[in-house]
């Protein structure tokens, strides 16, 4: 067995577990309940960070691990929610979208320039907006239409309440990526080879 491959696998596994744990920690921050059943939480920032810092594959794996823990009943979502019931709530489209949005964000980040900390931050902002906001919100809207039986237009209008806060999260993600790129210049943003 090649020791460097073994070490790389262990590092990947630990990063996936670390970002799943980061999502759980973000769940400790109280949620803001909105009247239509979808709360405002900090956890979408974790989705953006996982994609930008881990890349598509490991970002998706980290969010899938987190969602598996939630489905198993661990109260890891904001407000101490967990169990299979959360996947039947109006917010289920957003929850299921966490893994896919991390993958899309990571795939975009891997294709955008990241040679300097500033470029990495700008790329992280763009990847977060497209993957962690636009793509995630599209899945959330689909969930509202399917599970809350909202008309598409109403679901879209309801979703707009999250956009300003999620744009702030995109900026925060870019700042974190800038800091990581400055402190760890060899970090492979977006899981680059």
Domains of the chain in start order, with CATH, are: 3-191 (1.10.1760.20)
98/104 Cα distance (integer angstroms): 10
pLDDT band at 39 (very low <50, low <70, confident <90, very high): confident
pLDDT at 2 over 80: no
Share of the chain above pLDDT 90, in %: 76
The 3-state secondary structure of the chain reads CCHHHHHHHHHHHHHHHHHHHHHHHHCCCCCECCCCCCCECCHHHHHHHHHHHHCHHHHHHHHHHHHHHHHCCCCCECCCECCHHHHHCCCHHHHHHHHHHHHHHHHHHHHCCCCCHHHHHHHHHHHHHHHHHHHHHHHHHHHHHHHCCCCHHHHHHHHHHHHHHHHHHHHHHHHHHHHHHHHCCCCCHHHCC
Share of the chain above pLDDT 70, in %: 94
pLDDT at 1 over 60: no
pLDDT band at 36 (very low <50, low <70, confident <90, very high): low
52/148 Cα distance (integer angstroms): 31
Residues 6+ apart with CB under 8 A from 65: 16, 17, 20
The string of pLDDT tens digits covering residues 55-85 is: 999 999 999 999 999 999 999 998 899 999 9
Write out the two tokens for 174.
């870019």
Residues 6+ apart with CB under 8 A from 162: 38, 40, 137, 140
pLDDT band at 87 (very low <50, low <70, confident <90, very high): very high
Q: What is the mean pLDDT of residues 99-116?
A: 96
Supply the pTM of this predicted model: 0.91
Write out the two tokens for 139.
């899945």
Give the pLDDT confidence score for residue 7 in this predicted structure.
Answer: 77
Write out the two tokens for 101.
């949005």
Residues 6+ apart with CB under 8 A from 36: 90, 144, 148, 150, 158
Give the pLDDT confidence score for residue 5 in this predicted structure.
Answer: 59
């Amino acid at each position: 067995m090649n020791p460097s491959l073994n070490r790389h696998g262990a590092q990947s596994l630990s990063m996936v577990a670390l970002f799943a744990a980061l999502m759980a920690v973000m769940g400790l921050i109280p949620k803001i309940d909105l009247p239509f059943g979808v709360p405002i939480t900090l956890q979408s920032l974790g989705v953006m960070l996982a994609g930008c810092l881990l890349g598509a594959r490991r970002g998706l794996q980290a969010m899938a691990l987190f969602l598996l823990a939630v489905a198993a009943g661990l109260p890891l979502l904001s407000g101490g929610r967990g169990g299979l019931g959360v996947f039947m709530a109006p917010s289920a489209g957003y929850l299921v979208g966490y893994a896919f949005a991390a993958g899309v964000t990571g795939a975009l980040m891997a294709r955008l320039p990241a040679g300097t900390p500033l470029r990495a931050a700008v790329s992280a902002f763009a990847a977060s907006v497209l993957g962690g906001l636009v793509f995630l919100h599209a899945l959330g809207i689909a969930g509202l239409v399917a599970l809350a039986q909202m008309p598409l237009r109403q679901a879209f209008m309801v979703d707009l309440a999250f956009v300003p806060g999620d744009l702030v999260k995109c900026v925060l993600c870019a700042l974190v990526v800038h800091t990581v790129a400055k402190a760890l210049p060899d970090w492979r943003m977006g899981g680059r080879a």
